[in-house]
Amino acid sequence: MEWTGQVYADTPVIAVDTYIDAPPSSVWELVSDIHLMPTLSSEVRDVAWLDDATAPGVGRRFVGRNAHPSLGEWETICTVVEYQPPARFAWAVGDPGHPSSVWRFSLRAQGAGTLLEQQAQMGPARSGLSFAIDAMPEKEQKIVFVRLREFENGITANLAAIKQLAEEER
């Protein structure tokens, strides 16, 4: 990732993709399972469906419990905002109409396999990162850049793990 000079109000997005030698239906089973994320992510510790939901669907909510060495521990309520099997799965953190972040998986058939992209968008609502920006406004661009790089590294690791799981199941 190269320096962008973005600020939080730009709602910056980072996206990473990978080719997986497995059909979209197999990859979909992995990316649409929220309970897989804690096993892949360095920040997500636990997730649980809310409101008697047991599977994803637009409007369904889940809680995520997270931890980060610099940001501490926190809990978020997420709402599924896109659910189009086997192509798109996205959730908004916080208020779905004004989220603190949006996370998305997009799948596209490519040959005999799948091109899988994971994307993260910061903002527009305040998040835990906002406290660091408030404390050091002159460093906002660097704070945003460092967090985007963390997102990129996490997404890259997620995709590598999903690729391995999907290709092992073949």
Encode 102-123: b = buried (16+ Cβ within 10 Å), e = exposed: bbbbbbeeeeebbbbbbbbbbb
pLDDT, one tens digit per residue, over 31-67 is 999 999 999 988 899 999 999 999 999 999 999 999 9
Q: Is residue 63 part of a domain?
A: yes
Rounded to whole angstroms, the Cα distance separating 149 from 14 reads 8
- What's the pLDDT score for residue 33? 95
- What's the pLDDT score for residue 167? 95
Q: Is residue 2 part of a domain?
A: no
CATH number for position 28:
3.30.530.20
- What's the pLDDT score for residue 79? 97
Exposed/middle/buried for 55, CB within 10 Å: 0-12, 13-18, 19+? Answer: exposed
pLDDT, one tens digit per residue, over 79-135 is 999 999 999 999 999 999 999 999 999 999 999 999 999 999 999 999 988 989 999
- What's the pLDDT score for residue 170? 66
Q: Is residue 131 part of a domain?
A: yes
DSSP H or E segment with residue 131: helix 129-135
Determine the structural domain holding residue 117 and report its residue range.
8-169
Q: What is the number of structural domains in the chain? A: 1
Q: Is residue 75 part of a domain?
A: yes
Rounded to whole angstroms, the Cα distance separating 106 from 87 reads 6
